[in-house]
Each structure stands twice: as structure tokens, then as C-alpha cells.
């Protein structure tokens, strides 16, 4: 790649539209990148809101139709920040036009659609990545380093939860901005594709592939008014999901997610227990990694709470001084930095579309198991 900068065209100016714009802007202030991103164009359907978004975040130009954005010769990267049902169409069109693609998670509505996306993106030979940003919380990246160093030894258990409480009211409609998550036609699934997909991506990264799952799901509120029609319609997403899993390395796992855990806003936690050591992490305290090492001298043994803010912790040398922590938005900055490094070096930053397809296969197996009450084997990429 001989270019020194790449022009980004973003689609969608909602929650992720803001986190990504922030990342594209900030990354050059903190990372010495071989290739820098340029906030060239933003796309959204509401002209006034789009204009305000462009002005606030510094996008140079605006388009109200993503197809026009993709046709533009001056755009190198299409960044997809739209609801799940539009990822495939936009990504495939972008790849066919020779654009690099950064796509929000989950990759697709299901594994079958994900396969088509992987086929098209690989046929086009363009750089691609999916925004499973929790891999790039420094404490989580540090956990990966500790596991890869073999510090935990054989892994016995993996435990993950992602708990929220924002859909408990039966008056909340389905469909529309933000609430598209409650509409299966736009979201594909409920907490499985929205929240557990994050937990699964991290788990596959930290602990390898999952062989089989046994799941249960529930939809607590059966009907909600749809924003588009004003009519009460059946709710077809899973409000809650819990599943057991067997990893191919022999470890056992439990995963749980719900939007009905009163008091929890975004409680993503994970714990891994190995023969020598255990680690635990909590999104509400995201700059800390809990670590217990059985090899410590007996009378000193205990859980260490590591403040992951030192210069030799992942990504932290790029930020402030040791002891000063960073937060959620920085994970997206890290992802942009790694993507740009990957494009320059020719080694793609993970997770690629192909990596993210593995998560879709786990989600498919979970939803199938919940339907038929049987253990399901997970298809592998
Ligand atoms: N990585 C993460 O942690 C994370 C967090 C939240 C959401 N997400 C993912 O990001 C995606 C977007 O979620 P969000 O929370 O930003 O949603 P949102 O509702 O806040 O924003 C969606 C945006 O897409 C726009 N949009 C919808 N259809 C469009 C079209 N045809 N053309 C142009 N714009 C269109 C909407 O107008 C809106 O600006 C989803 O796939 C979601 O799963 C990821």
C-alpha cells in the first residue's frame, strides 16, 4: 500500500457513527500510523441530522444514499454503522466496488448470509474487519497475552455474562432508531446477536473454538407496538439467552445475556479458570484485570487487581502516563490503529469477516438449540 492516507466513507450517524468518527479523528493524535484515515464523507438518510453530524465530527462531505457513497472514486474505505439487516448489502456492494470494508458487529443476520459476505469480500481481495471492539480493551488484550504465554495452563472453565435492563417496560416500541434491536427483521436476533456475539467473539479469541452448545432463550414481552406501523406486533427476538458450551480444548463454559437484569446497564464480565491461574474482567471497571496465580507463595496468594495503565500494558504507552486510565471509546481508536497498521503491513487486523463468521456459527447453533431443546454442534469456518 503506497498511499499515506485513506479516505473513509461512513454509513450511519447513530451510536456507532459517533464512536467511529471519534476514533478516526483521535487516532492520529496518539498513534504514529503508516497510513492515516481521512474523514471524507458521511452517509445518512435524514439530511438535517446528517449535516449536523458532519459539522460536529468533521466529515468533509455528505451523501444521503449509501450507493452514491460507494460509487465515489475518492472513497477508499466504507465503514458500516447501520442496523444489522443492512450490513450484507452494503458490504457486498462496497467490496464489489473495490473498497475496503470495516463493518459493525454482528457481521450478518445469520451464518448463511455471513458466508456470502466472506465469499464476496475475499473474491474482491479487499481489506476487511468487524468491530468487535472489546478485544482491544487493554485489560482484555492483556488477558490474551497472559493466556498465550501459558500462564493459566490447561483451561477448565470460561464464564461470560452481558447484562442490561433497558427493555423491561412493555411500553417500549420495537423498530426505529436504537429500538430496531427489538425488531427481529432488522436485528436478526435479540441478545444473542447483539450482546452474546461480543462475549462469543472474545471467548473464541481467548480460548479457541466452541464445539457444541445447549441453550435456552425467552421473550418476556410477547407483543410491542411497531414504530413503523403503530400496530402491536409479535416480538420475535430473544430477550434473554443462557447457554452451556464445550470448547474444543476441553473446557466448559456458561454464557448468559439479558436485557431484563434490573440494575445492570452494560455488565459484561468474563472469568477464565486454568490449572495454574485464573483471570476475571468486568466492563464496569474495564481498566482492571483480576489475576490469581496459584504459584504465588501460599501465604501471599490472593486475587491481584492489576491497574492496566502502565507503559508495558497493551496500547497504554500511546496514551497518558502510568496510572491514568482510558475508557470505552479508546477501544475503537485502537481498532482503527490496528486496521491501518494491517493495511500497511499486508497482515490484516483481526477479526476479519472470516473470523467474525465463526461467531455467527456459534449464534446460529445457540438459537437452534434454544428452539429444538437439543445440544447443537457448531459449524466451523
Ligand atoms: N461494537 C459495539 O460495541 C457496538 C455497539 C452498538 C452497536 N453496534 C452495532 O452497530 C450497528 C449500528 O448500531 P447503533 O447502535 O449505532 O444504531 P443506531 O440506531 O444508533 O444508528 C444506526 C444508524 O444507521 C442509520 N441507517 C439505518 N439504515 C440506513 C440506510 N439504509 N442508509 C443510511 N443510514 C442508515 C440510522 O439512520 C442511524 O444513523 C449495529 O449493527 C449494532 O449491532 C456495535
pLDDT in tens, 228-254: 999 999 999 999 999 999 999 999 999
* Domain boundaries defined on the chain: 5-133, 135-328+336-377
* Phi, psi at 351, each rounded to 5°: -85, 130
CA–CA gap between residue 163 and residue 186 (Å, rounded): 21
Separation of 291 CA from ligand 1 center, angstroms?
Answer: 35
Q: Is 176 in the pocket of ligand 1 (CB under 6 A)?
A: no
Specify the CATH class of 5-133 in words: alpha beta
Our answer on whether the CB atom of 183 is closer than 6 Å to any ligand 1 atom is no
Q: Residue 114: CB within 6 Å of ligand 1?
A: no
C-alpha 292 – ligand 1 centre gap (Å):
38
Q: How far is the CA of 109 from the centre of ligand 1 (A)?
A: 14
pLDDT at 303 over 70: yes
Q: Is CATH 3.30.43.10 what the domain over 135-328+336-377 is classified as, yes or no?
A: no
* pLDDT, tens digit, 9 for 90 and up, residues 17-30: 999 999 999 999 99
What distances in angstroms separate CA 80 from CA 39, 49, 184, 320, 349, one per listed residue?
14, 17, 19, 30, 17
Query: Taking residues 167-190, what's their average pLDDT?
Result: 95
Ligand 1 pocket residue status of 193, Cβ below 6 Å: no
Give the distance (Å) from ligand 1 centre to CA of residue 79: 11
In this prediction, residue 188 carries a pLDDT of: 98
CB of 45 shorter than 6 A to ligand 1 = yes
Residue pointed to by grid coordinates 468518527:
21
Q: What is the pLDDT of residue 3?
A: 78
Q: Which atom of ligand 1 is nearest to the CA of 180?
A: 19
Mean pLDDT of 72-92: 98
Which parts of 125-183 fold into alpha helices (H)?
138-148
Angle, alpha carbons 181-8-65 (nearest 5°): 60
**Residue 62 — φ and ψ, nearest 5°?**
-130, 145
Atom number in ligand 1 closest to CA 64: 33
Amino acid at each position: 500500500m503506497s498511499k499515506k492516507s485513506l479516505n473513509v466513507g461512513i454509513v450511519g450517524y447513530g451510536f456507532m457513527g459517533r464512536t467511529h468518527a471519534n476514533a478516526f479523528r483521535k487516532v492520529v493524535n496518539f498513534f504514529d500510523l503508516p497510513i492515516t484515515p481521512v474523514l471524507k464523507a458521511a452517509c445518512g438518510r435524514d439530511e438535517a441530522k446528517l449535516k449536523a453530524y458532519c459539522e460536529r465530527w468533521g466529515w468533509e462531505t455528505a451523501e444521503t444514499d449509501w450507493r452514491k457513497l460507494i460509487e465515489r472514486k475518492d472513497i477508499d474505505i466504507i465503514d458500516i454503522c447501520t442496523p444489522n439487516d443492512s450490513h450484507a448489502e452494503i458490504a457486498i456492494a462496497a467490496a464489489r466496488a473495490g473498497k475496503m470494508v470495516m463493518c459493525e458487529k454482528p457481521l450478518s443476520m445469520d451464518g448463511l448470509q455471513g458466508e456470502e459476505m466472506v465469499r464476496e469480500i475475499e473474491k474482491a481481495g479487499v481489506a476487511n474487519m468487524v468491530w468487535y471492539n472489546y478485544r482491544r480493551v487493554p485489560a482484555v488484550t492483556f488477558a490474551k497475552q497472559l493466556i498465550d504465554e501459558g500462564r493459566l495452563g490447561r483451561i477448565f472453565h470460561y464464564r461470560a455474562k452481558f447484562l442490561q435492563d433497558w427493555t423491561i417496560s412493555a411500553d417500549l416500541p420495537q423498530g426505529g432508531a436504537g429500538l430496531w434491536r427489538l425488531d427481529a427483521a432488522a436485528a436478526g436476533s435479540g441478545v444473542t446477536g447483539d450482546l452474546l456475539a461480543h462475549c462469543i467473539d472474545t471467548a473464541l479469541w481467548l480460548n479457541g473454538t466452541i464445539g457444541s452448545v445447549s441453550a435456552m432463550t425467552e421473550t418476556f414481552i410477547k407483543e410491542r407496538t411497531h414504530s413503523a406501523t403503530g400496530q402491536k406486533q409479535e416480538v420475535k427476538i430473544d430477550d434473554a439467552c443462557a447457554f452451556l458450551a464445550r470448547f474444543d480444548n476441553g473446557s466448559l463454559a456458561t454464557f448468559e445475556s439479558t436485557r431484563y437484569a434490573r440494575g445492570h446497564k452494560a455488565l459484561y464480565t468474563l472469568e477464565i479458570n486454568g490449572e495454574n491461574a485464573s483471570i476475571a474482567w468486568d466492563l464496569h471497571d474495564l481498566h482492571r484485570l483480576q489475576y490469581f496465580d496459584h504459584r504465588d507463595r501460599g501465604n501471599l496468594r490472593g486475587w491481584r487487581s492489576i491497574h492496566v495503565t502502565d507503559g508495558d500494558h497493551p496500547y497504554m504507552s500511546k496514551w497518558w502516563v502510568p496510572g491514568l486510565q482510558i475508557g470505552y471509546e479508546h477501544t475503537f481508536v485502537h481498532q482503527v490503529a490496528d486496521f491501518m497498521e494491517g493495511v500497511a503491513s499486508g497482515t490484516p487486523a483481526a477479526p476479519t469477516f472470516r473470523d467474525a463468521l465463526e461467531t455467527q456459527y456459534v449464534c446460529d447453533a445457540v438459537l437452534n438449540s434454544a428452539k429444538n431443546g437439543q445440544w447443537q454442534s457448531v459449524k466451523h469456518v
